[in-house]
Amino acid sequence: MSRTTNNLDKLRKQIDDIDNKMLDLLMQRTDVVEQIGEAKRQDSAAVDLSGSLNMRPAREARLMRRLLGRHDGRLPEIVVARIWREMISAFTMQQGPLKVAVCAPEKSVAYWDLSRMQFGSATPMTLHRSHGVVLRAVSAGDGTVGILPLPQDGEGDAWWTHLAVDAENAPRVIARLPFVQDRTAWFEGMGALAIAPIDHEDSDNDISMIVIAADPQISRARLHREMQAAGFVGRIIAAVGKGGDHAEWLHLVEVDGYLAADDKRLAAFVKACDGDVERVIRIGGYAVPMRIGED
């Protein structure tokens, strides 16, 4: 046996040993997740959690930022991200139900790919042309997450208007896809929003989403001025008239940072509009995506 062959055998043995250790650690992580799930069930013994989602999108975002910030090697960052997304989704299903309903009006494969990248290969997924089907599936409370196209200004039956309700457990925006944005592996350069009946939590770097119900006579320019005066930076990304003769306009706004339900700036904004804004509804938000592969 040559010296080169002997060295290759040793290196391959090292890889085998590393693979075994990685699998051992995965099984150990699985056991810890099972203990976490059991602790949650005991803490909530009096509550029916049969259809609840055990997702923490903000924690997932912080985890991904930490791991990719720590990564230093030749393994592409997008590969690291995909590995952990597979694990996160698998361990989420270990603790409770998780399904994904994807809305792709033109049945674009991009929305399916975005969903698979976020929720892994083992998560049950269905594809739909209608956002109404997806909204109903999410509202059913059986552990379904909905994936919907990014809102566009001028849409008729805009899906986001159905989130503008104050009902408990109403669907809320929880993530933007893809979270890890790699231009070299981003099919069609498309994006989507994920919705679920859970609240948006602070990930330390967020975009919050609100819907402003306003008088049709109030201008976008004034709404932007009043938002700025109230102390937050908001961008109107879409608007649609509702009711007979468009008696009310709903404005979809992205706000820099995390807005809590009791944020006093929201009340200050409504007051400053002097009756021209009837209400402001928080409809969730998302952790600001990471960009990789850019020099």
The angle subtended at Cα 147 by Cα 284 and Cα 50, nearest 5°, is 75
Question: Does 71 map to a domain?
Answer: no
Domain count, the chain: 2
User: What does the pLDDT average to over 22-44?
Assistant: 89
Question: Does 162 map to a domain?
Answer: no
The CATH number given to whatever domain includes residue 280 is 3.30.70.260
**Which residue, chain included where needed, has tokens 């005066």?**
229
Q: How far apart are CA 163 and CA 89, in angstroms?
A: 25
Does residue 185 carry a pLDDT above 80? no
| The pLDDT of residue 187 | 60
User: Could you give the percent of the chain with pLDDT greater than 90?
Assistant: 76
User: What does the pLDDT average to over 6-34?
Assistant: 95
| The pLDDT of residue 134 | 97
Containing structural domain, residue 240: 206-287
Question: Does 264 map to a domain?
Answer: yes
pTM score of the predicted model: 0.91
Band (pLDDT 50/70/90 cuts) for residue 188 is: low
Query: Could you give phi then psi for residue 106, rounded to 5 degrees?
Result: -105, 15
Band (pLDDT 50/70/90 cuts) for residue 294 is: low
Per-chain mean pLDDT for the chain: 91
Q: How far apart are CA 237 and CA 66, in angstroms?
A: 30
Going by C-beta distance under 8 Å and a sequence separation of 6 or more, which residues neighbour residue 103? 111, 128, 129, 130, 131, 133, 134, 146, 147, 148, 149, 159
Does residue 50 carry a pLDDT above 70? no
Question: Does 258 map to a domain?
Answer: yes
| The pLDDT of residue 48 | 46
Question: Does 94 map to a domain?
Answer: no
User: What does the pLDDT average to over 103-117?
Assistant: 87
| The pLDDT of residue 37 | 83
Does residue 175 carry a pLDDT above 90? yes
> Is the preceding peptide bond at 178 cis, omega within 30 degrees of 0?
yes
Rounded to the nearest 10 degrees, what angle do helices 57-70 and 77-95 cross at?
150
pLDDT tens sequence across 244-271: 666 899 999 999 999 999 999 999 999 9
Q: What is the DSSP string of 252-290?
A: EEEEEB---TT-HHHHHHHHHTTTSEEEEEEEEEEEPPE
